[in-house]
Structure 1
Amino acid sequence: MNTLSIRQAGVAAVVFALAGCATNPTVRPTQPAPWAALTSPTAAMEIVVSDICLTAVRENRPVEALALDHWLRPVPPRTTGSPLAVAAWRLASYSDVYVMALPDGGCSASVEAGDPKALNDAAVGLLAKHGDFRRGETLVAEDHSRTAWCTGEADRPLVVALAQANKARMAGGRRPALITNVFRAAGARPGFCPPTA
């Protein structure tokens, strides 16, 4: 009898779920199917952080339209663990990868699996595609560190907060490897952003 490992079974289920997206007549993604995201946390992160969240907030586009165009499926917001999510979508992957719409027009993305530092470094590398971001304040907690990255505007800069999990603490609970919050500041440049040049 041929049996699948738990991981292989999970990947197979995700492949079938992703294939099901193509047969749903209400969803017609224009982007190529994200096959690499099935097993690569970095590929998954690039889609949810760069292609969806940063694009949505920077260009003032609906998060939902971008999520559906990139093959994500709607899920109840409570399944993400975020108390702020007003809508949520899941990317087909062997681990939990979510995009969440926030009530202030912002967007949040979380990637559960992968090396937190490598994901954080890859996310920082993607910022240049979306603007001239400068590193702001970093806060360190027991289970994660969070760094603000801000564009240079004095009013309403684009802000990206990258929360990288402490790898040693990830095993103890459901803390994603990387959480990214993207939003436009409501007014004057926040104090956690670096001073304007």
Structure 2
Amino acid sequence: MLAWRILGVVLVAGLLVPHAQAFLRAAPSPPPAPVLRHTQPEAQSSAARQAIDSVRLLDPSNPDHHRLQNIEEATRHLPFDRNGFPDWMQALNRGLIKPRAGLSEQAKMEVLDLDVLMRNTKEMPYVRFPHRSHTEWLACSNCHPDPFPTQAGGSTILMSNIFRGEYCGKCHDRVAFVTFFSCERCHSQPQIGHPPKP
């Protein structure tokens, strides 16, 4: 669990590299601007925001704790979702973040524009998984073959697995948007005339 949190921090740091130079120069700085997410009443009262804010992920007794950049400071220029968390896709689409395919600036992302419709959703709307939004900043090897085999039907994904940090939960509810409070972001396709698979 701790390894995934550390991976999340590293991912956030890697995504913000283009903006990091401003923070690395030794210069007096004004007090940080107010954090947008806490000025939005609906985000401030969000159950997701309260749940996450109540968990301490870093050890303040660590002698180097003061060297870590505050997450609010690092993400203050980004748009936020209704739960008060960074909306990474909106930030990517607006050009506010520019993920790299590799260490070399010449490396290019291999974007796959393929949607997968998952119909085993009981009474919930079907899940439309957009490869494009994931491959705009992740390599295929981030997900294939582990935790997702490449063949259709190779995984039985349950919400309980996701909530335990498996499958989609390796990123969602950690770095990517919170699933428990954003059902419609995945369950976006109505089941009209198509009963779920048994």
TM range (shorter): under 0.3
Bigger radius of gyration, 1 or 2?
2
TM-score normalised according to structure 1 size:
0.28
- For normalisation by structure 2, the TM-score amounts to 0.27
